[in-house]
Copies of this chain bind each other. A is one copy, B any other.
């Protein structure tokens, strides 16, 4: 049978239970050709809008038998090419699985379908006095996608990444079996940690359809602050000193002078200069928040901070953090017409000054514009490389990206703090972990997906 015939057969069989939700409509296929990345798009042969775990499992069993690739698709916000069906096949769209199945306020946990977005969940939780802390840069990413890429965000320094906030998963396996890993308890020593094995597996080991999540109480008091520095070094040294002082800061974000110029223009931030800036947030009781904040202020002042500005009212805080989350759009605003290539790297916190000052030099040498933002409390930082609209623009941007990641590895870091490997970090993964570690990962992959239908071409170069 030709490839086209195989696809046609799978599509016809899936129509039996998906009806019109199994589609080969051209514009829907086009919409599933890429995420928010700069890799070459490829349209899937068909898109399946599944609504239940059972539908995902039936579709997988069909595709497994026919050897047709399946690429899970959530919010379509991947920055590393995860959702591009590089070998064709079916885009398995989970964005309609948006049920919040259960909120257990007493246990501070909940069960959600994979297509629930973090904004949807937090809006739902607000009245219960609870929140879900993991907050990647985009608000319409899905919880399933966050699990698949081991995502984090600005709160990870205090609340952990998605890894620490998932209690259990429902996963449809390549052969159509469905398993539930973990459970509702806070910890367990009951066998292999399959939950953590699927988290960060980027759709290559199974399709995550439901998630049991830990939640956290909305703190009694929250206070945000900004302060500015004449030098990047002063800002980075403040971060290290705050961590070492044991101040339980909830968020600590760095924006460099270029990023601040973008944010001031895009988000109408008043009273701030285009200079290296730290955004802080403190959670706790009113007394504890005040104590944390004054501790951080004292440390920042010692490293040359000026203009410590407080935001305790909800509205000012919300505006500040919206500006931080809009940093990508603000960066794009610096060069109208330019695309954005977002770099993700992480180093041990002690090497953060070396990393960021070095990256600043790399950017200067490249002649490109590339603001730096980062969850510097974990050592994780991003640059938004503005891709000039010239013929060699993308190539130059990629060269700078490679240089930045290589620098992080040289400093004992990792090639991705939170965006995942996808297509773009495959070569760096080998350099970071070595062939033997990759061999073990590949053997696990072969065990769970012997036909190689699950998101082929991702994580591994071969």
| Contacts from A to B (Cβ < 8 Å) | 104, 106-109, 149-152, 156, 160-161, 163-164, 173, 177-181, 183-194, 196-197, 199-201, 205, 216-217, 219-220, 240, 243-246, 248, 284-285, 287-288, 291, 295, 344, 346-350, 378-380, 412-421, 425, 429, 432-434, 436-438, 440-441, 443-448, 459
Contact = CB atoms under 8 A, between A and B. Distances in A.
Given A185-B378, A248-B248, 15 more contacts: A104-B348, A106-B240, A107-B348, A150-B187, A150-B189, A173-B440, A177-B436, A178-B436, A183-B412, A185-B379, A186-B378, A191-B437, A193-B197, A193-B200, A447-B447
B191 A349 contact: no
A107 B178 CA distance: 41
A442 to B, nearest CB: 10
Given A106-B244, A160-B164, A191-B421, A432 B197 contact: no
Given A285-B291, A288-B291, A433 B107 contact: no
Contacts of A197: 192-193, 196-197, 444
B179 A347 contact: no
Contact of A192 (B380, B441, B446): B441
A191 B429 contact: yes
B436 A187 contact: no
- Tallying the copies of this chain within the complex gives 2
Contacts of A440: 173, 179, 194, 448
A243 B152 CA distance: 24
B434 A180 contact: yes
A35 to B, nearest CB: 15
B441 A444 contact: no
B183 A191 contact: no
Nearest to A205: B192
A145 to B, nearest CB: 12
Q: What 4 pairs across the A-B complex have the smallest Cβ distances? A: A196-B196, A106-B350, A188-B414, A150-B189
24 contacts: A104-B348, A107-B348, A108-B243, A161-B187, A163-B193, A179-B434, A180-B434, A181-B437, A183-B412, A183-B414, A183-B432, A188-B416, A189-B414, A189-B416, A189-B419, A192-B200, A193-B193, A193-B196, A193-B197, A196-B197, A197-B444, A220-B246, A287-B288, A288-B288
A31 B108 CA distance: 45
Contact of A191 (B161, B240, B288, B441): B441
B179 A414 contact: no
Contacts of A417: 185, 187-189
A96 to B, nearest CB: 26
A201 B190 contact: no
A57 to B, nearest CB: 11
